[in-house]
A and B are shown apart, each in its own frame.
Chain A
Amino acid sequence: MESGIPIEITGLSKHFGHVVAVDDLTFTVQPGRVTGFLGPNGAGKTTTLRVLLGLVHPNAGTATFGGTPYASLPRPLETVGAALDANFHPGRTARDHLKVYATATGLSKARVPVVLEQVGMTEFADRRVGGYSLGMRQRLALAYTLLGDPGVFVLDEPINGLDPEGIKWIRGFLQSLAHEGRTVLVSSHLLSEVQQSVDEVVIISKGRLVKSGTLVSLELDSAPRTIADSPDREALSAALDEAGLEYTEGRNGFIVNEPDPGRVGHAAFLGGVELNTLHRLKSGLEESFLSLVGGGEE
């Protein structure tokens, strides 16, 4: 295993016709930690990863592994393990699929049963892929990334389609890769899906970077708020205005930009408004994420 290689994306742009998929994107992914690459559907995650892997040609910018573009890596599968979409020839078995690419890259065929065992696919290895579930395809895609025992992993939505047991397994798997000093970049459109396994986050929206940092720093960004509701919403709204509090009206009441519910209750008391809900809204990573990417999926 080669380790300690960072992923460096600099000024990357890619458009498809008039669609701007990636827009002047710059970030770095460090070894030894799991980095979540997050953004709603259509944010440009897959495009970025495909450019990084030399599959899509960018309009501007560079994407490298420690300064070397993928196509110039002397031993690509032994440097980078990538799982993009879980697509295979339906008529080929998992074992044969892996053998084909072990041959292409000059790896020993002895690696094939090893990686099949690592992803728990030994039992199904001699069945044609056409009959596989999405979860089994995801595992086979991961087996492919492990063939060359690389120091860098690039995984596009690897949790999609996994059952709860599979999700638990992949979380441990990602963490153990990072603990071994490898660079791990894993994309998802749901923060909740990866928040238990990532140390760092890179968040993009509409092809642009909106946040990059530790998961903890994302938590700090999301200030707690208060939710309050009344049978007479008009009166409550007036009372909040009177107290100079900022708020938005939601389905379950008013979300007030004020961490202390006591102050909101006091404002209602001063306005003589009856409250039927008053509590602190738990600071949610997911909410912080959604506010960063502009309110959710398009």
Chain B
Amino acid sequence: MSFIRAIGSEFQKVFTTRMWWLLALLLAGYVALMSGGFGAFLGWASANPDAAAAAGGGGTPIAPGLDLAPLVYSFATSIGYVFPVLLGALAVTGEFRHKTLTPTFLAEPHRTTVLTAKFLSQFAMGAGLGVIAFAVSVGTGAAALAGFGLDTGLDDPDTWALIGRGVLAMALWGAIGVGLGALVPNQVAAIVIVIAFTQFVEPILRFTASLNEVTANIGKFLPGAASDALVGASFYNIASLGTAATLEWWQGGLVLLGIALVATFIGGATTWRGDVS
């Protein structure tokens, strides 16, 4: 009973401040730009292969017959996953920053209950952001592809399975955010880590790891790579060179879940247990 109440309270915390729709808005804008833009570019390129090769100066040619739709739609996760992580991390770090752990722990002295409620509510928030992201990526991407007379894949059940796995990935990223926030309660530090890791560190690691077969087998366990494996398509898969080792989709999901659980567990046993003063 107290557990249900704690989850309700966590949702209210999210929806009574502005951060969630600010992040949702940014996510939608970013995904619209990328899915719509790349959808249009790829559509144009595959419709005019000669012109594209000339303009690209011999860049990656679009293989004829390559299924573009999953690639375009998966921008929702391949670039959007940073948003649920941020929202999840802020749900924890905000309590430290604004010193609201005091009223929170007074109302629910069982700290594990509170952290578990955050984990589950941010999992749900991540799923919600995932739905928004895919609505935008499919909306803009399909429009762009259809504009060039390309297959939108919307009548293909595989596309919808991909979207479902993508929403699950976003949910898991929300839970990872909670774990990160519990590990690094300093809000500024947590945000810097999220941005630096997702935008610079991991892409570089993934690229470097993919150059060699041994490291590629380690690199596929990087969270972003695991996420792409779970979703089943990513812009990185065509952008990256070298060996493209990937996990099975369910393995990718387990890697993300494992990261979320381990981080939340360690954070919950350390910073979350500490003195609140």
Contact = CB atoms under 8 A, between A and B. Distances in A.
| A pairs with B | yes
A90 B97 CA distance: 11
B112 to A, nearest CB: 11
A103 B5 contact: yes
A91 to B, nearest CB: 4
A10 interface: no
Given A73-B109, A96-B16, A144 B5 contact: no
B110 A71 contact: yes
A82 B103 CA distance: 9
A44 to B, nearest CB: 12
Contacts of B99: 85, 87
Interface residues of A, number: 34
7 contacts: A55-B101, A56-B276, A71-B110, A76-B107, A87-B100, A91-B18, A104-B5
B56 interface: no
Interface stretch (B6-14, B142-150, B151-159, B199-207): B6-14
Interface in A226-274: none
Contacts, number: 87
Contacts of A46: 277
Given A87-B100, A89-B94, A105-B107, 7 more contacts: A50-B277, A55-B276, A88-B103, A96-B16, A101-B9, A104-B107, A144-B103
B107 A101 contact: yes
Interface in B74-117: 94, 98-110
Contacts of B107: 76-77, 101, 104-105
Interface of A: 46-47, 50, 53-57, 70-71, 73, 76-77, 80, 82, 84-85, 87-93, 96-97, 99-101, 103-106, 144
B60 interface: no
Contact of B8 (A85, A87, A88, A103): A103
B102 A70 contact: no
A186 B103 CA distance: 18
A103 B12 contact: yes
Contacts of A77: 106-107
B98 A50 contact: no
Given A100-B12, A103-B8, A103-B9, A87 B102 contact: yes
Contacts of A57: 275
